[in-house]
Structure 1
């Protein structure tokens, strides 16, 4: 459990349990949760019972497993509609994916990481890590770097401190110095790339969606496999990507989105 949750009392502990169930990605038994829990057995059981009674978790008597509850799903959908740029961007990313025939991602920053808030698969989809609702690293993804490049200096310092610089592939940026140099280039060109930095064989071109004040609201990317297209070939879709990012930004102007 993280230190912040420890200091947030019962609510923090309950949210930590929810995070743990969600991170496993499948129905989970009590014994699995207890195995790496910092809570005593009785405390963990009490937290789980409370979450079940509130509809945040569901309990399967037959399998004796816990999974995310309907109430939590409903809250997640409400948050998606009210706090995410995704509902406004949806028709634009639909059009872009159909136009270029490749996978389109929409992402926002969550702390120092990337939260994929929407995704449109190509007509012939390829297997990759990113899915709507998943969290990914910022320093080695196109959308992450596009978002980081346009942060206010103080915010950027905090975000960079949160980067792990784990080397996923031989192309991964593994130092703050290398990342800062690339962010400078992205800031100058308005475009970011993932050159097989997070997943072997996966490349993308990304652009920020900027508010009227020049702050990044989200980032948009077109992603493909090197077996299908080279990065140079993917670059041919750059005009469509930039136009779509601009259209979404204009649509957001009339929406009460933090900027």
Structure 2
């Protein structure tokens, strides 16, 4: 059993977290009891008891037959509180509004989460037909503007070995191609996602240096059909200015989260 800072991991707590993460990763695909037991390698009876405990407390929900399971409403309430209590999110939100108003495009705030980026705030473009918010969702760091901006802040040797899973035909799939892209990002000062995460969408990502190494980044996403050289220059100018203002603003809050 692994240890953290000299304290042995609590097996039951770890199993509960693993179960919730597994259910969350399935999205809109509910799971059956045996699937969960097999995936986590626990006896069926133990998994059933854990599920029933979490259902009682609202962390897991089940269908009318009692045979399908998914995340419960408590996960939403806890996630919402994370956003409310985080001083960085509170700091950045007004600047996302300003960038959205100035550019008329979709603006994101994301945070590095292992090999992924979690979306913490989004301002959708009125011109973009897909208006589903990404808040709370994760995207592999190697395929998006947010993630690449943050990976470029770290040593190249920290990148995992490939191959990487592609989301589009334009996604990086090898360590070598991603390393070359990150080197260009460091020289340029911002990342460009050319339809690597979503076909038809180009993103521009800017790491926020109020932490070292940067954990958060902001981005602007624009449909390929609407991106002209002049508009791209405007996006880069505005987003650079927004980044500078964010980094120079007082954070607020009394807790320095790690």
Settle same-fold status: TM greater than 0.5.
yes
1:198–1:32 Cα change, 3 Å: farther
Q: Distance in 2 between matches of 1:209 and 1:169?
A: 27
1:66 aligned partner: 69
Q: Distance in 2 between matches of 1:79 and 1:197?
A: 29
> Which of 97, 100, 104 lines up with 1:97 in the alignment?
100
Please say if 1:165 is aligned against 2:164: yes
Unaligned runs of 5+ in 2: 4-8
Q: Distance in 1 between matches of 2:19 and 2:92?
A: 32
Q: Per the alignment, in what secondary structure is the counterpart of residue 93 of structure 1?
A: helix
Please give the TM-score of this superposition, normalised by the length of structure 2: 0.83
Q: Per the alignment, in what secondary structure is the counterpart of residue 104 of structure 1?
A: strand
Give the drift of 1:139.
1.5
Give the drift of 1:135.
0.9
Q: Distance in 2 between matches of 1:163 and 1:111?
A: 16
- Check whether the contact 1:103–1:120 (CA below 8 A) recurs between aligned residues: yes
- Check whether the contact 2:153–2:213 (CA below 8 A) recurs between aligned residues: yes
Q: Distance in 2 between matches of 1:231 and 1:164?
A: 33
1:9 aligned partner: 11
1:46 aligned partner: 49
Q: Per the alignment, in what secondary structure is the counterpart of residue 169 of structure 2?
A: coil
1:18 aligned partner: 20
1:128–1:137 Cα change, 3 Å: farther
- Check whether the contact 1:27–1:65 (CA below 8 A) recurs between aligned residues: no
Q: Distance in 2 between matches of 1:57 and 1:118?
A: 25
Please say if 1:139 is aligned against 2:142: yes
Cα RMSD (Å): 3.0
Q: Distance in 1 between matches of 2:164 and 2:228?
A: 25
> Which of 223, 235, 238 lines up with 1:237 in the alignment?
235
Give the drift of 1:251.
2.5
Give the drift of 1:43.
1.3
1:100–1:73 Cα change, 3 Å: same
